[in-house]
Chains A and B, each alone.
Chain A
Amino acid sequence: MASFVHRIEVHFTKDPRLKTRTDRIRSLGIPVDELHLADVYTIATTARDFTRDELVQVARQLVNPVVQEFTVDEATEALFDEAIEVGFLPGVTDNVGTTARQTIEDFLSMRFGDEEAVCSSQLYFVRGRLAPEMLTRLAGTLANPLVNRIHMKTRQEYGKTGMDRIVPHVELHELPTAGPVDLDLDDAELVTIGKEGILDPKTRQRRGPLALDLAQLHAIRDYFQDLGRMPTDVELESLAQTWSEHCKHTIFASALDDDVPKGLYKTFIQAATNEIREAAGEKDICVSVFSDNSGAIIFDDQYIVTHKVETHNSPSALDPFGGALTGIVGVNRDTIGFGLGAKPCINIYGFCVGDPDAAVPLFRGKDGTNPVLPPRQILDGVVRGVGAGGNCSGIPTPQGFCWFDNRYAGKPLVFAGTVGIMPRERDGQKLFEKKAEPGDLIVMVGGRVGKDGIHGATFSSEALDPKSPVTAVQIGDPITQKKFSDVIVKEARDLGLYRSITDNGAGGLSCSVAEMAKECNGCHVQLDNVPLKYHGMAPWEIWISESQERMTLAVPPENLKTFMDLMERREVEATVIGTFTKSGKCVVECAGIVVMDIELAFLHDGLPKKHLTTTFMKTTNPEPDTPCPDRLDAALLAMMQRKNICSTEFITIQYDHTVQGGHVLGPVQGKGRVQSVASLTTIVPGSKKAVGLSQALFPSYSEIDPYNMAGAGIDTAIRGLVAMGIPPDKIAILDNFCWCSSNDPGRLGQLKRAAQGCYDIAKTFGTPFISGKDSMFNDFSGYDAEGNPVKVSVPPTLLISSIGVHPDAGKAVSLDAKIPGDLVYVVGATREELGGSEYFAQLGSIGNTVPVLDAAAAKERYIRLAGAIAHELVASAFPVSHGGLAVAVAKVAVGGRLGMDLTVPVPDTLRPDYFLFSESLSRFVVTIAPDHKRAFEQALGPDAVLLGRTGGSRLRITGRTLLLDVAIADLEKSYKSPFRGY
C-alpha cells in the first residue's frame, strides 16, 4: 500500500458547463439547483514523499491558471448540500490518471513505481435539498457501480476536511499457478463447469462461464484421456475461448435440418459471395473476403478499402460508456489487424435501445436488486462511448443510426464499424496478405494485461443473467491505441518490420496467438514475459484476458532491434512473449512449467459438429381497425416525431465527422439539417473517388417474415448508396445477425429464412458479402418490479452495412430539395405493404404484409438512377424507407427548407394513408431541374412518376382529395422535437 497520499482538487472559477450540466440533470427529473464539479487527482507514492512546494508545482501543471483554481491537501471551499465523489474501482482503466502521472514524471524527471499511482476522480457539489431517493438516483446517473466507486458526504460531514483520500488498489495474492482440472465427472457436473466455470480450488468459487456444452466437454475429456493426463485450467479456458460461439460461430457453422448440411454460413453467405465473384469475372470488386479481420474491396488501381462491423452488446448493457468505447476502438483494431495493417479512416455506429420515454424497470436480482440501466442512461453512455473512441482516435464518424424498441431494454445492441485504407502493394509485396514464419518472434504491443475483460468471448455467447461476470467490463484507452496505430500503419508497416499482425480482441492472447499460429503451424509462448497491470494474475487469466489496446505481431528476429527501437521512441510498450514454431502445437509456459500443450488441429478443429433442427410457424396479427382520416396533416406531424424517424442530430454533432478532411456528404444535409441514411467521404487526398457507407435494418419485420426482412435490409443498404450516385456494381455488403434464444428451433427457423433471403437477394443484386459477424444470444433473464421472472429478447435483428466506391465525388447528390420550381418524382411502385411499418406502430398494430422485394427490377432501376446522377440530371435523391413516401418527401422538403405541391396517384384500391405511409421497397424521391425532364424520364423509364414541383413554404399533397397541407417549418419542428434537450 502507498505510504504517502496527496490530493489535488481543481475547479473552474466560473464553470462554463455549469448550466448545461445542471439542465441535463434536471431534465432527468432530478431537481438540483446547481451541480458544481471539481476534478481530483490523488497521488500515492511509497518510495518518496513530495514536499508541499513540489505538490503546488505539480498542481500548476494540471490546471489552467487563467480560469481554474486548485487546492493541495485541502478541501475545496464550496456552497453545497451534498458532495458526491465518483472515482474508479480498483483495476479499472483511468486515462486521466495516466496522463497526469506522465505529466508529473516528465516534470519532476522521476518514475512512479509499481505500487504508486495517480488516480483521477470527480467531485460533484450538489446544491439543492434532495430527498434521499433522488440523491441515490443522481449518484446512479453520475456513476456506474460496476466501474465506479461513489463516496458521498453531507455538508456537515464534509466540514473543513473535505473528502477522504482514497486510492483504488488491486489486492495482491501470491502468484497462483495453473492446475489440472478433472473432467472425469458425471454429466451434471460437467454441465455446471460449462455453465458456471471451473471451481477454483482456493476460493471454492466458480470462475465464470466457459460456455462449453456437454458434447464439447466430452470431446475435451476424450482428447486428454488419449494423452493420458488431465487438462490444465489454462487449456480448458483456452479451448472455451477458441470454441466459443463468439469466435467459432457454431450456430452458423452447424448443419441445419436435412437441407442445409454445410451450415448457414457456407450455404447462404459464403456461397452467395463465391458465386457472385465468379459471375463478375474481371469486374469482381472483392480483394479479401471473410478470411481476415475485415473484408476488402478495390478502391482504385493503387488502394483497397476494408470494412468490418462488430457488435459489443453484452458489455454495453453493463457499462454503456465502456462497452461502446471498447466496441469502436476494438473494431478499429480489426482494421489495423487487416493484412499487414490498414489505416482506419471512417467509423460508423448503430444503437438499438429501449424507448427512453417508455422504460419498464427490469432487475437482475429478485426483490428489486441489481437494476438494469434504464434506456436513457444506456443511450447516453453508448453515444458518449462511440464518440470518445472516434474523436480521440482522429477517425471521422459520419454515419450511423439509432433504433428504438422496448425489446432492446434488457440488452441493447451496439454496432461499431470501421473502414480502412491501404495500398495494395509495397515493393511488390501484397499488403493485404500476411504469414508468420517459424522462428518469428511473437510480439505484443500496446496496453498491459489486467483482469479486465476476462470471459468476454464466452460471456457474450450466453444470455445476460444475474451471474454475468463484472470483469467482463473494460474501459478503453483510445490514446494508447492511437499511439500504436500511428506507429504501425504509418511507420513499421512500410518499413517491412513484421510479417503478420492481428488484433487482441475476444479471447485475448489465447485467440490472437493461436490464430496466427495457424499461419506457420505452431507457437511457443512464455507467459512470464507478458507485461501486467498488477501482480497476482493466474496464468489462465493472463492468457485469456481481454485487456484493451493490444495487437500481436510476428517479427522476424533480424528486425527485432529496429522494431523495438521504433516502438520505444513512440512510447509504445512492446514485449517479446514467445516464438512462432512449426511444431503443430500451441505450447504455453509459465514459470518454467508447461501449462498448455495442445495440437493446433484439436484447438481449431476439434470442436464437435452439431446438427441443429429448426421449425417455422407463421404468426398472424390483427390488422389495424382505425379508419383513414380525411386529412393526414396530423398523422404526418406525428410520424415525423416517431423516434425511429425523427432527427438524432444530437449524436451526429458530438461525433467528429470532418477529421482527415474527406467530408463530402455528411450525416446531416441541407439548410434544414436532415439526417442522411448514407455518407460519402474521400479517403485518398487528390483522388476523385470517395467511399459511400450506409446501413439498414428492419427488426419490426422479423417476427412477421424474416426472409423479406433480410430483403428489405439489403435493398435499403444498397439503395442509400445508389441515391448518392454509386453504381450497384461498385457496392459490397456486410451482415450482422443479432439474434435471440438461438437454442430455440423456432428462432433458428427464422434465422434460416433470413439467411436464405440473404443468399437469394444478394445473388440477384450481384452484391457480395465481404464480412460478417453474429451475436446469437441477445436475451435478458431477470425480474420485473414485482419480482416476477421475465425474459426480454431482442427481435431478430439483421443489420446490413453497405460500402461502395463513388467514381466521382464531385457528381454526388445530396438528399435536400434545392431550387424552387424543380420537379419532384417518386421512382418505384407503392403497394399496400404496411406490416411492421412505422405507421402501423403509430396506430398500435403490427399487421402481416411486409414489403416484398423484386430485386431484379430494383437492380435495373438502380443502374438507371446512378447513370442519371452521373449525367448530372439529378438535383437531389433520397430513398423512401421507414415511414414511407410522405415521410421521405417531408424530409427532402425540410432538408431544403423548400415547400412542395404534389399530387400522388393513389390507386382506388388503396387507402390514402396507406399509400403515403407504406414502406414498399426500392423507391426514391428525386428532384430535378425542369430542363432535365425529358432526359430524366428517358433515363428512368416508367419507374419515375412525376408528383409535382418544389416551391413555397408548405408541403401540400393531394390524392383523390387534398390529403395534407403543412408548413415546412412545422414539419421541421416535429422532426427535431423528440431529442431536444439530449
Chain B
Amino acid sequence: MATVRRNIRRPVAAPKAAAVPDRICERALILSGYGINSEMETQAALARAGMDADTVHINDLIAGDRSLADYRLLVFPGGFSYGDDTGAGNAYANRIRNNIWDDLQEFMDGDNLVLGICNGFQILANLGLVPAFDRTYAREIALMPNRGGRLECRFVTLKPANENLWTKGIERIYCPVSHGEGNLSCSPETLKKIKQKKMVAFTYCREDMSPADGEYPYNPNGSVEDIAGITSANGRVLGMMPHPERAMECSNLYDWPLLREQARREGRALPQESLNMQIFRNIVGYFS
C-alpha cells in the first residue's frame, strides 16, 4: 500500500563543497584494454578531485612503455574485460599475473593505493589483492554470478561499515551498480577475518540506511552480509562493486529530479556535485 511518504531530509551533498584543492603531484595509472570501459569517467572523477591520471593499455605496461613505479595510485576501472568469459575479471587477472606480477608486487609493497571498481574489483579478487591477509595474495573471495542470474543496473544505497582512508567523512553513497557477477562469497573463516580486521568498506542498505539484510533489490546480487566493497588487510586496496564515478554530479542521481524540486520549493539550489565524489577526494587527501 503506497502511503504518502514523509520527505526524509537527508544530505544530498557535502554541506559546503570544499574549495577546489590544489592538484597533487602524485599521479594515477588507470588500466585499460580488452573490454575495460569506465576509464574515461574514472579519470574525470580523479581529475575533479585533484589528481591527474594516465589511462594506460595493459599491453603498454607489459611491453614496458610505461612503468608502475611512476605512479602512486593504480586503478582497475569497471568494464567487461574479456566479456566476463571464464568468470568476470578472471582472464584479465591471468593476463596480469602471467606478465607483470613482479612489478605489481613491488608496487603493492610501497606506500601506494589500489582501487578496483566493479570489473576492477573482480580483477582484484582474482589476483588476491583483496583481502590480501598476507603477501601470498591467495584467492580468498569470489564475486559470483548475481542471484538473479543476469546483469542488473540500478542505483543502490551504501553505508560505510568502517572508517578508513577511503570512507572517511562519508555517511552515505548513492550510485549505480551494473554487473552480472557481484555476489561476494567466501568461507566463514575468511568472512570472520575480514570482519575482525574491519576490512568491510561498504554494505548495501535500504533508503533509510537500515541494513538490506540480503533483500532484493537493496542488496542487488545476494552478496554475503550485504557486502558491496572491502579493503585489503593493510587498508591500501579498495575493491567495490558499485560505481561512484558514474554519479559525480547531483544530476546523475536516480532521484535528483525530486531532490531538485524539493530544493526549489525551499528556495535553494541543488548542489552541483554529489556526495559520491568524497571517495576520490579521500584518495587525494591521503596523498596531500
The 6 closest A-B pairs by CB, nearest first: A394-B37, A661-B41, A99-B85, A814-B257, A66-B142, A658-B176
* Residue among A64, A659, A664, A952 making CB contact with B142, cutoff 8 Å: A64
Chain A residue at smallest Cβ distance from B187: A66
* Residue among B82, B144, B252, B254 making CB contact with A99, cutoff 8 Å: B82
* Residue among A21, A120, A685 making CB contact with B149, cutoff 8 Å: A21
* Residue among B83, B87, B147, B152 making CB contact with A478, cutoff 8 Å: B83
Cα of A99 to Cα of B91 in the assembled complex, Å = 7
Chain B stretch 183-199: residues in CB contact (< 8 A) with chain A: 183, 185-187
Question: Residues of B contacting A659 with CB < 8 Å?
Answer: 37-38, 41, 78, 178, 246
Interface string of B130-157 (1 = CB under 8 A from A): 0000000001111011111111111000
Q: Is the CB of A16 within 8 A of B145?
A: yes
- Is B72 in contact with chain A by the CB < 8 A criterion? no
* Residue among B144, B248, B254, B265 making CB contact with A16, cutoff 8 Å: B144
- Is B25 in contact with chain A by the CB < 8 A criterion? no
- Is B245 in contact with chain A by the CB < 8 A criterion? yes
Q: Is the CB of B83 within 8 A of A99?
A: yes
Chain B residue at smallest Cβ distance from A384: B150
Q: Is the CB of B145 within 8 A of A664?
A: no
Question: Residues of A contacting B254 with CB < 8 Å?
Answer: 663, 666
Interface string of A809-849 (1 = CB under 8 A from B): 11011101011100000000000000000000000000000
- Is B210 in contact with chain A by the CB < 8 A criterion? no
Sample of 15 more A-B contacts, CB < 8 Å, known A64-B144, A106-B98, A393-B37: A17-B146, A64-B87, A66-B139, A66-B142, A99-B82, A103-B94, A391-B80, A479-B83, A483-B35, A570-B57, A570-B59, A660-B37, A661-B38, A661-B245, A899-B4
Question: Residues of B contacting A50 with CB < 8 Å?
Answer: none
- Is B261 in contact with chain A by the CB < 8 A criterion? yes
Band of interface residues on B: 35 or more
Cα of A592 to Cα of B199 in the assembled complex, Å = 67
Cα of A671 to Cα of B257 in the assembled complex, Å = 11
Q: Is the CB of B86 within 8 A of A660?
A: no
Q: How far is the CB of A692 from chain B (nearest CB, A)?
A: 14
- Is A202 in contact with chain B by the CB < 8 A criterion? no
Cα of A665 to Cα of B36 in the assembled complex, Å = 25
Chain B stretch 51-106: residues in CB contact (< 8 A) with chain A: 57, 59-60, 63, 78-80, 82-87, 90-91, 94-95, 98-99
- Is B282 in contact with chain A by the CB < 8 A criterion? no
Chain B residue at smallest Cβ distance from A17: B149
Task: From known contacts A62-B86, A654-B153, infer whether A664 and B139 are also in contact, taking CB-CB under 8 Å.
Answer: no
18 A-B pairs with C-beta separation under 8 A:
A16-B145, A16-B146, A16-B147, A24-B149, A61-B86, A64-B126, A67-B142, A96-B86, A387-B151, A478-B80, A478-B83, A482-B35, A570-B59, A659-B37, A685-B44, A686-B44, A952-B4, A967-B2
Question: Residues of B contacting A972 with CB < 8 Å?
Answer: 2
Q: How far is the CB of A33 from chain B (nearest CB, A)?
A: 18
Task: From known contacts A661-B41, A810-B251, infer whether A656 and B151 are also in contact, taking CB-CB under 8 Å.
Answer: yes
Cα of A875 to Cα of B140 in the assembled complex, Å = 49
Q: Is the CB of B247 within 8 A of A968?
A: no
Task: From known contacts A64-B142, A659-B37, infer whether A875 and B261 are also in contact, taking CB-CB under 8 Å.
Answer: yes
Question: Residues of B contacting A965 with CB < 8 Å?
Answer: none
Interface string of A152-184 (1 = CB under 8 A from B): 000000000000000000000000000000000
Chain B residue at smallest Cβ distance from A12: B144
Cα of A31 to Cα of B156 in the assembled complex, Å = 35
- Is A741 in contact with chain B by the CB < 8 A criterion? no
Question: Residues of A contacting B153 with CB < 8 Å?
Answer: 652-658
Chain B residue at smallest Cβ distance from A670: B258
Q: Is the CB of A929 within 8 A of B35?
A: no
Question: Residues of A contacting B150 with CB < 8 Å?
Answer: 387, 654
Interface string of B2-26 (1 = CB under 8 A from A): 1111000000000000000000000
Task: From known contacts A12-B144, A103-B91, infer whether A663 and B258 are also in contact, taking CB-CB under 8 Å.
Answer: no
Cα of A393 to Cα of B150 in the assembled complex, Å = 16
Interface string of A189-212 (1 = CB under 8 A from B): 000000000000000000000000
Question: Residues of A contacting B78 with CB < 8 Å?
Answer: 659
Chain B residue at smallest Cβ distance from A99: B85
Q: Is the CB of B1 within 8 A of A953?
A: yes
Q: Is the CB of B257 within 8 A of A665?
A: yes
Question: Residues of A contacting B32 with CB < 8 Å?
Answer: 486
Question: Residues of A contacting B85 with CB < 8 Å?
Answer: 95-96, 98-100, 120
Task: From known contacts A394-B38, A656-B153, infer whether A67 and B1 are also in contact, taking CB-CB under 8 Å.
Answer: no
Q: Is the CB of A67 within 8 A of B185?
A: yes
- Is B164 in contact with chain A by the CB < 8 A criterion? no
* Residue among A99, A682, A952 making CB contact with B86, cutoff 8 Å: A99
Chain B residue at smallest Cβ distance from A106: B98
Question: Residues of B contacting A394 with CB < 8 Å?
Answer: 35-38, 79-80
Question: Residues of B contacting A387 with CB < 8 Å?
Answer: 150-151
Question: Residues of B contacting A16 with CB < 8 Å?
Answer: 144-147, 183, 185, 222
Q: Is the CB of A818 within 8 A of B261?
A: yes
Q: Is the CB of A64 within 8 A of B90?
A: yes
* Residue among A66, A571, A666, A814 making CB contact with B140, cutoff 8 Å: A66
Q: Is the CB of B41 within 8 A of A685?
A: yes
- Is B211 in contact with chain A by the CB < 8 A criterion? no
Q: Is the CB of A391 within 8 A of B151?
A: yes
Q: Is the CB of B186 within 8 A of A66?
A: yes
* Residue among A663, A672, A872 making CB contact with B246, cutoff 8 Å: A663
- Is B40 in contact with chain A by the CB < 8 A criterion? yes
- Is B33 in contact with chain A by the CB < 8 A criterion? yes
Q: Is the CB of B35 within 8 A of A392?
A: yes
Of the candidates B1, B148, B246, B251, the one having the most CB atoms from chain A within 10 angstroms of its own CB is B251
- Is B243 in contact with chain A by the CB < 8 A criterion? yes
Cα of A659 to Cα of B151 in the assembled complex, Å = 13
Question: Residues of B contacting A819 with CB < 8 Å?
Answer: 261-262, 265
Q: Is the CB of B83 within 8 A of A106?
A: no
Task: From known contacts A569-B59, A659-B78, A659-B178, infer whether A67 and B144 are also in contact, taking CB-CB under 8 Å.
Answer: yes
Task: From known contacts A658-B176, A663-B176, infer whether A17 and B37 are also in contact, taking CB-CB under 8 Å.
Answer: no
Q: Is the CB of A818 within 8 A of B257?
A: yes
- Is A102 in contact with chain B by the CB < 8 A criterion? yes
Cα of A21 to Cα of B60 in the assembled complex, Å = 41
Of the candidates A63, A672, A818, the one having the most CB atoms from chain B within 10 angstroms of its own CB is A818
Interface string of A657-701 (1 = CB under 8 A from B): 111111111100111100000000010011000000000000000
Chain B residue at smallest Cβ distance from A108: B98
Question: Residues of A contacting B286 with CB < 8 Å?
Answer: none
Q: Is the CB of A479 within 8 A of B252?
A: no
Chain A stretch 107-133: residues in CB contact (< 8 A) with chain B: 107, 120
* Residue among A17, A102, A656, A669 making CB contact with B91, cutoff 8 Å: A102
Cα of A486 to Cα of B151 in the assembled complex, Å = 23
Question: Residues of A contacting B4 with CB < 8 Å?
Answer: 820, 898-899, 951-953
Q: Is the CB of B2 within 8 A of A661?
A: no
Chain A residue at smallest Cβ distance from B47: A685
Question: Residues of A contacting B142 with CB < 8 Å?
Answer: 64, 66-68
Question: Residues of A contacting B186 with CB < 8 Å?
Answer: 66
Chain A residue at smallest Cβ distance from B90: A64
Question: Residues of A contacting B95 with CB < 8 Å?
Answer: 103, 106
* Residue among B35, B141, B257 making CB contact with A816, cutoff 8 Å: B257
Cα of A579 to Cα of B208 in the assembled complex, Å = 65
Q: Is the CB of B176 within 8 A of A479?
A: no
Q: Is the CB of B41 within 8 A of A20?
A: no
Q: Is the CB of B246 within 8 A of A95?
A: no
Q: Is the CB of A969 within 8 A of B139?
A: no
Q: How far is the CB of A203 from chain B (nearest CB, A)?
A: 36
Question: Residues of A contacting B87 with CB < 8 Å?
Answer: 62-64, 68
Interface string of A859-881 (1 = CB under 8 A from B): 00000000000001001100000
Question: Residues of B contacting A98 with CB < 8 Å?
Answer: 85
Cα of A324 to Cα of B37 in the assembled complex, Å = 21
Interface string of A402-430 (1 = CB under 8 A from B): 00000000000000000000000000000
Cα of A103 to Cα of B82 in the assembled complex, Å = 10
Q: How far is the CB of B37 from chain A (nearest CB, A)?
A: 2
